[in-house]
């Protein structure tokens, strides 16, 4: 049982860190909005991330999340660390040198790239975007280092330094933004860009002491021929491919969105961010925490444990996200009012944003389970299968978008994403069952049905409560906050009582995870 407990503990820590980092992220955006509004300067700032992010994900992100940890873990679990560190050194050197070349090219050709991205910007705004991009281009280099460090530490099941790093990252952006930015001079939005670079550095430095403790060994070598290096490259290829292809979906989405009522893209984007919150805070934390354990069990051929660990992770995710999904549907109006409806964001915008949010919320659990299933394949050192299924579901998503955008407008774009996530989840589960002979499917289904029953009960209670309360407190900001807090509390209570009556073991697991976090 110790592995499940360790995973739950790590997941709890990652959830707290994610939550803190998301809150700081919202804070950062509201400070920026307070300084510069929704102006050409903030457009330039957001545009400045396109190139650095692209470089990071194509060269580093994919390699780390899928290929690096399984291969390095295997060396550790088979007691061959020395060899593992040689592989790590080669990979670090290859990535760092190639990334540096791209960054230098990026800095030289920034003006051309920005012009291609946003031809509609005015001359001075393009110049601002170029200036900001050049500052932020230093960030992928530092992020690559901190990402690799995180990969090494995660292989040793050490999670807290990177969790702390994320929070520091956002804190630095806020600090430098506040200190350097002046609202009346749009050029000074570059303070936030400087914060991004310093934040990335802080994120890296905070992890170094832990690296020393695990016995960091670095060699200035590049060994292309090493089987470990080759394997990481082979595992990373499909992931890099899927990132590149994923851009297609983004383009189609913006393209269809730009033909709808003005502001549709924004309403889809805001509701998408809300829908990503539970996925990012709960599902991703559980997936990252469970990954090194899955790798270890796969390396040592402990298939019964592998199935048990992954099934318990999937069930826990379903148990946490189904009630959130129902709660978000029932409380979507007060939720949007509290978070977004101030300043230029009017009541009519809230109504517009509530529509895609409804259709997104339907897919929260599927989207959450997809955070875990591909990692099961990665642990089996198979990155092609989840990528091919991912590409298939991307095309499914595009087909659904075209079919649904007329009848449902902005809601159609959101619903397409939910349907594609469901498709993705079902196919991955089917293929895993073929591969592993059994995946504990009945227990997953039973947990789903129980959670759904409890969630529907909870939804009904919250719906009537919110309806009754609105007639007293109204739908202003304060009223919405009251409805949101009391509604959430009531919902959590109803769901917990229902889960307890049904004697759901996920209930005890989740409670145990929360208790352990409180005691730290």
pLDDT tens-digit series, residues 349-405: 888 889 999 999 999 999 999 999 999 999 998 989 999 999 999 999 999 999 998
**Dihedral over Cα of 70, 76, 80, 83: its sign:** positive
CB atoms within 10 A of CB 213: 12
The tokens describing 24, both together, are 């700081």
The answer as to whether 134 is a domain residue is yes
The answer as to whether 5 is a domain residue is no
What is the SS3 assignment for 225?
A: coil
How far is the C-alpha of 195 from the C-alpha of 170, rounded, in Å? 8
Count helices and strands in the chain by DSSP H and E runs: 24, 0
The answer as to whether 512 is a domain residue is no
Residue numbers of the domain that contains 98: 21-223
Give the number of domains in the chain.
1
Give strand pairing partners of 388.
none
Model confidence pLDDT, tens digit, residues 463-483: 999 999 988 888 788 999 999
CA distances 410 to 129, 351, 403, 406, Å, are 29, 12, 12, 9
How far is the C-alpha of 121 from the C-alpha of 130, rounded, in Å? 11
Model pLDDT, residue 12: 86
Write the DSSP symbol of residue 184. T
Secondary structure of 261-272 in the HEC alphabet? CCCHHHHHHHHH
Model confidence pLDDT, tens digit, residues 301-311: 999 999 999 99
Task: Show the low-confidence residues of the chain (pLDDT under 70).
Answer: 1-2, 37-39, 62-65, 343, 514, 516-520
How far is the C-alpha of 254 from the C-alpha of 252, rounded, in Å? 6
**Dihedral over Cα of 367, 371, 372, 373: its sign:** positive
The answer as to whether 151 is a domain residue is yes
Write down how long the chain is.
520
CB atoms within 10 A of CB 209: 9
The answer as to whether 348 is a domain residue is no
The answer as to whether 196 is a domain residue is yes
The answer as to whether 70 is a domain residue is yes
The tokens describing 19, both together, are 């939550």
CA distances 381 to 19, 117, 386, Å, are 30, 36, 11
The answer as to whether 148 is a domain residue is yes
């Amino acid at each position: 049982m110790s592995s499940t407990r360790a995973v739950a503990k790590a997941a709890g820590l990652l959830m707290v860190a994610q939550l803190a980092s998301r809150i700081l992220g919202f804070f950062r955006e509201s400070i920026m909005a307070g300084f510069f509004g929704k102006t050409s300067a903030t457009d330039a700032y957001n545009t400045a991330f396109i190139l650095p992010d692209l470089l990071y994900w194509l060269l580093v992100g994919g390699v780390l999340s899928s290929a690096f940890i399984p291969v390095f873990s295997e060396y550790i679990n088979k007691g061959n660390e020395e060899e593992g560190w040689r592989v790590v050194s080669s990979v670090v050197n290859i990535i760092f040198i190639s990334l540096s070349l791209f960054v230098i090219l990026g800095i030289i050709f920034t003006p051309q790239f920005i012009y291609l991205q946003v031809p509609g910007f005015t001359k001075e705004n393009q110049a601002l975007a170029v200036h900001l991009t050049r500052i932020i281009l230093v960030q992928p280099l530092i992020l690559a280092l901190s990402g690799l460090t995180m990969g090494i530490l995660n292989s040793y099941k050490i999670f807290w330094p990177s969790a702390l790093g994320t929070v520091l990252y956002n804190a630095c952006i806020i600090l430098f933004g506040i200190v350097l930015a002046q609202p009346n001079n749009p050029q000074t939005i570059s303070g936030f860009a400087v914060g991004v670079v310093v934040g990335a550095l802080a994120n890296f430095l905070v992890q170094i002491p832990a690296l020393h403790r695990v016995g960091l060994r670095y060699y200035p070598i590049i060994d292309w021929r090493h089987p470990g290096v080759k394997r990481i490259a082979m595992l990373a290829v499909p992931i890099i491919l899927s990132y590149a292809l994923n851009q297609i979906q983004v383009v189609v989405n913006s393209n269809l969105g730009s033909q709808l009522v003005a502001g549709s893209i924004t309403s889809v984007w805001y509701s998408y961010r809300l829908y990503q919150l539970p996925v990012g805070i709960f599902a991703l934390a559980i997936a990252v925490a469970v990954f090194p354990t899955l790798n270890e069990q796969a390396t040592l051929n402990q298939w019964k444990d592998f199935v048990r660990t992954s099934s318990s992770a999937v069930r826990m995710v379903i148990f946490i996200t189904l009630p959130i999904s129902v709660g978000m549907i029932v409380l979507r109006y007060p939720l949007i009012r509290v978070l977004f409806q101030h300043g230029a964001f009017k009541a009519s915008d809230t109504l517009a944003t509530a529509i895609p949010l409804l259709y997104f919320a339907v897919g929260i659990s599927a989207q959450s389970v997809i955070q875990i299933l591909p990692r099961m394949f990665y642990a089996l050192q198979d990155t092609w299968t989840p990528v091919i299924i991912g590409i298939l579901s991307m095309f499914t998503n595009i087909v659904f978008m075209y079919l649904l955008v007329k009848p449902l407008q902005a809601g159609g774009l959101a619903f397409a994403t939910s349907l594609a996530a469901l498709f993705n989840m079902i196919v991955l589960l089917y293929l895993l069952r073929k591969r592993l002979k059994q995946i504990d499917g009945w227990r997953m289904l039973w947990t789903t049905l129980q959670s759904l029953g409890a969630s529907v009960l909870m939804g009904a209670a919250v719906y009537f409560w919110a309806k009754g309360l609105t007639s007293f407190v109204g739908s202003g900001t304060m009223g919405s906050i009251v409805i949101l807090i009391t509604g959430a509390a009531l919902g959590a209570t109803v769901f917990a009582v229902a889960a307890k009556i049904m004697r759901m073991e996920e209930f005890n697991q989740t409670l145990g995870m929360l208790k352990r976090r409180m005691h730290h």
